[in-house]
Structure 1
Amino acid sequence: MVIHHFLTKKVILLIFALTLFAVVAACGGSDQAVRQVEVIKEVPVEKIVIKEVIKEVPVEKIVKQEVIKEVPVEKQVILEVIKEVPVEVIKEVTVEKIVEVQIAPSVKDKREIVFGGLNWDSALVQNGVARYIVEHGYGYPTSQIEGPTLPLFQGLRKGDVDITMEIWLPNQDAAWNEAVKAGEVIPVGKSLEDNWQSSFLVPGYLQDANPELDSIEDLKTDKFNSLFEQDGGKAVLLGCIAGWGCRTMQDGSPDTGVGQIVGMGLEDHVVLRDPGTSGALAAAIEGAFAKEEPILFYYWGPTALAHKLDMRDLEQPDPSECADNSPVHGCAFPAAEIMIAMNTELVADAPELITFFKNWDWSAGNQLAAEGWYSENKTA
């Protein structure tokens, strides 16, 4: 019992001593650092190179030869035997044909062609084009006599003028019908197309400022009549030039009719003024438009001036309300028929020109382009 107690006590002491030793050892080793070293060792690597060897292998070329064998062809000749048959000639007839040949005269024998030089741009432009073709295309020398409509038409009737490029109908109806009936002139073609004319035009800016001014009837009222230049208490109408066919339509004549002024009842409200020339008429219109002044005027188209300016037509009685649709009886101008006229003596002297003028085609587009060029170059 005592021994057992003693052994037990020794064991306890031994355990205590071991524990104390372990604690001291742990405390003493805390100041030492533990270092871990990583060692990298180079290991030789074996490099394997694979080489691709291309070996040329001879290729055997096989040529195929085509053998053409000549085969003898047997040529067969067929002989055609023509049998001669006697033909009996009953009657031998000899026909003699006479051919009449008309020889055109040489250039030196061709006579001069005289054109009527009407004094407005569209006629002068057409004259220039036609004369160039007649001279260079047909070999005829040409000339031109300038003047107004009526004297030149009388020259055409007498043979002093050979060609007139613009005969405005119905403006010249009476004289034209008389000359055709007398066998003095013939129509050989149509001239200026897409045409119009009016005796009662006003500027667009004036109508915009006075929307109720839209008829010739308004010219009979003081409200609108007084807008225009006055002469003796009447509005001035800048009208056709004396000697033009349209002038007769405006102021009339004993042989044709009373004219537009009287026929429309405007004789107490409007006075007709002659501008003198087409150039003066155009200048007066352009001047008024530039200053935006009121103006009552006559003009026509297609023309460069009418294309450029805003011209507005006052309402007038329709041509169908007048005898023969003629404005000389007091109505508006209808669309004109504009003819190319030839003196009948020229028919025998230059017959080939009839076909040329029958094929004449002068549209509004042609006229505007040509007149624009002419306006820029006529004074050059």
Structure 2
Amino acid sequence: MIFKSGGIAAAMAVAFFAATSLPATAQDDAAQCGTDRTIDIAEMTWPSAAALAHIHATILDKGFGCSVEIVTGDTVPTSSSMLTRGTPAVAPELWTSAIEDAWAKGVEEGTVVQLADAITDGTVEGWFIPQYTQAEYPELTTAEAVIARPDIFPDPEDSSKGRLYSCPPGWACELSTSALYEAYDMADSWNLFSPGSGGALDASIARAFTREEPILFYYWGPTAILGKYPAVQLEQGETKPDVYACNTDPDCTDPAGVTAYPSSPAVVGAAAWVRDEAPHVADYFSKVGLTNAEISELLVYGDENQADAAATAENFLRTKQDVWTSWVPDAVAEKVLAELG
């Protein structure tokens, strides 16, 4: 008995020595930040990008042990600073269509890198109707089919015409929607309604869906509206970049033309030093792409609870563990989960 106990004790001692003497596992190595530099993450001005900034900041801080800072950002100033100064380190949802040439040059010269598509199936922009309206009128799949039926979408203030809900004054989408309204020659049978603000547009859409009324409206995604309300995007034919460019340029003198809205690329952009100095962090960001529907869904929480970006991010981390834990090694996931309690 004594001999066996001693044997077990000896075996345990050997096992303990071996365990404490072994080098860190590959997973433990992958759970390290890899750089002492602060990884500053751009929090853009729109809800999806802001929420993503807080999601990634939490995972890098609590999971990888990085020094992280969230900084205010927007497409042009963020990309310009990243290209010239290497900061911010990461822009988790960078729409590159507005900075196409400068960004492509930076990638080619090696000052910045695209680590992933932030929105894996591309951004959405176009004209929508409720799913329940299309279920009642299954032929309404194209813009032309809807335009031929203004009676289904009567203007509350002028029932002799239909109503198309456009964008608020000053937004680029106001130009594109107005141009398509002209190109489709809708003036005789449709009114183009311009809401006073984004909130007013959202309220009009929410009211129609709550009452299950038909509505034709411009919108874009990922957004809480498209996550909350089952809308169907209308087909508008092929995308014609030159026509779209003219439709959104107030100085273009060509007649407005019919074109589908392009899907703008939204990428995880980073300063090149992140890839070079913190390869595990770069590898993490290569896996974080979400679909339009997934991002719209995460925004619904913020919309319904009047939650800020940080609270929206925390809700995602708590309720979508099956999604984000697939982005990281188990050791990182365990640390973040422990922090969430």
Partner residue of 2:307?
378
Which residue identity is paired with 1:310? P
Which residue identity is paired with 2:217? F
Preserved CA contact (<8 Å) 1:189 1:339: yes
Preserved CA contact (<8 Å) 1:191 1:339: yes
Preserved CA contact (<8 Å) 2:154 2:162: no
The structure with more helix, counted as a fraction of residues? 2
Q: Quick one: structure 1 residues 344 and 224, their matched pair in 2 at CA, closer, same or farther if it must change by over 3 Å?
A: farther
Q: Displacement of 1:139 after TM fit? A: 1.7
Which residue identity is paired with 2:287? N
1:180 to 104, 107, 126: 104
Partner residue of 2:266?
338
Give distance in 1, aligned partners of 2:200 and 2:243.
30
Which residue identity is paired with 2:194? R
Q: Displacement of 1:178 after TM fit? A: 2.7
Which residue identity is paired with 1:167? L
Q: Would you say 1:166 and 2:86 are equivalent positions?
A: no
CA offsets, 1:313-342, max 9 Å, x none? 2231123xx258978674224555431112
% of aligned pairs identical?
Answer: 20
Preserved CA contact (<8 Å) 2:33 2:60: no
Which residue identity is paired with 1:261? L
Q: Displacement of 1:218 after TM fit? A: 4.7
Q: Quick one: structure 1 residues 123 and 325, their matched pair in 2 at CA, closer, same or farther if it must change by over 3 Å?
A: farther
1:110 to 37, 56, 71: 37
Q: Quick one: structure 1 residues 217 and 373, their matched pair in 2 at CA, closer, same or farther if it must change by over 3 Å?
A: closer
1:202 to 112, 123, 129: 129
1:251 to 171, 175, 188: 175
Partner residue of 1:141?
68
Preserved CA contact (<8 Å) 2:41 2:57: no
Q: Displacement of 1:354 after TM fit? A: 2.5
Q: Would you say 1:237 and 2:184 are equivalent positions?
A: no
Q: Quick one: structure 1 residues 229 and 218, their matched pair in 2 at CA, closer, same or farther if it must change by over 3 Å?
A: farther
Higher relative contact order (CA 8 A, sep 6+): 2
CA offsets, 1:226-266, max 9 Å, x none? 724679x88443338956xxx36x736xxxxx996278445
Preserved CA contact (<8 Å) 1:228 1:294: no
Give distance in 1, aligned partners of 2:169 and 2:272.
29
Partner residue of 2:143?
216
Which residue identity is paired with 1:204? Q
Q: Quick one: structure 1 residues 196 and 117, their matched pair in 2 at CA, closer, same or farther if it must change by over 3 Å?
A: closer
Give distance in 1, aligned partners of 2:169 and 2:104.
25
Give distance in 2, aligned partners of 1:263 and 1:157.
39
Preserved CA contact (<8 Å) 2:79 2:103: no
CA offsets, 1:36-89, max 9 Å, x none? xxxxxxxxxxxxxxxxxxxxxxxxxxxxxxxxxxxxxxxxxxxxxxxxxxxxxx
Partner residue of 2:233?
313
Q: Quick one: structure 1 residues 371 and 287, their matched pair in 2 at CA, closer, same or farther if it must change by over 3 Å?
A: same
Q: Would you say 1:282 and 2:211 are equivalent positions?
A: no
Q: Would you say 1:123 and 2:49 are equivalent positions?
A: yes
Larger radius of gyration: 1
CA offsets, 1:132-191, max 9 Å, x none? 1222314222113155x55555555555643222234xxx43522332215564312121
Q: Displacement of 1:274 after TM fit? A: 6.2
Q: Quick one: structure 1 residues 337 and 179, their matched pair in 2 at CA, closer, same or farther if it must change by over 3 Å?
A: closer
Q: Would you say 1:189 and 2:116 are equivalent positions?
A: yes
Give distance in 1, aligned partners of 2:241 and 2:293.
33
Give distance in 2, aligned partners of 1:336 and 1:215.
21
Preserved CA contact (<8 Å) 1:325 1:334: no
- Secondary structure of the 1:118 match is coil
Give distance in 1, aligned partners of 2:262 and 2:285.
24
Give distance in 2, aligned partners of 1:187 and 1:343.
9
Partner residue of 1:273?
194
Preserved CA contact (<8 Å) 1:206 1:294: yes
Which residue identity is paired with 1:180? A
Which residue identity is paired with 1:355? D
Which residue identity is paired with 1:285? I
Q: Displacement of 1:275 after TM fit? A: 6.0
- Secondary structure of the 2:208 match is helix
Which residue identity is paired with 1:142? E
Give distance in 2, aligned partners of 1:106 and 1:354.
10
Q: Which runs of 5+ in 2 are unaligned?
A: 1-31, 248-256, 312-341
Question: What is the number of equivalent residue pairs in this alignment?
Answer: 258
Preserved CA contact (<8 Å) 1:238 1:298: yes
**TM-score normalised by L of structure 1:** 0.52
2:154 to 227, 230, 235: 227
Q: Which runs of 5+ in 1 are unaligned?
A: 1-103, 253-257
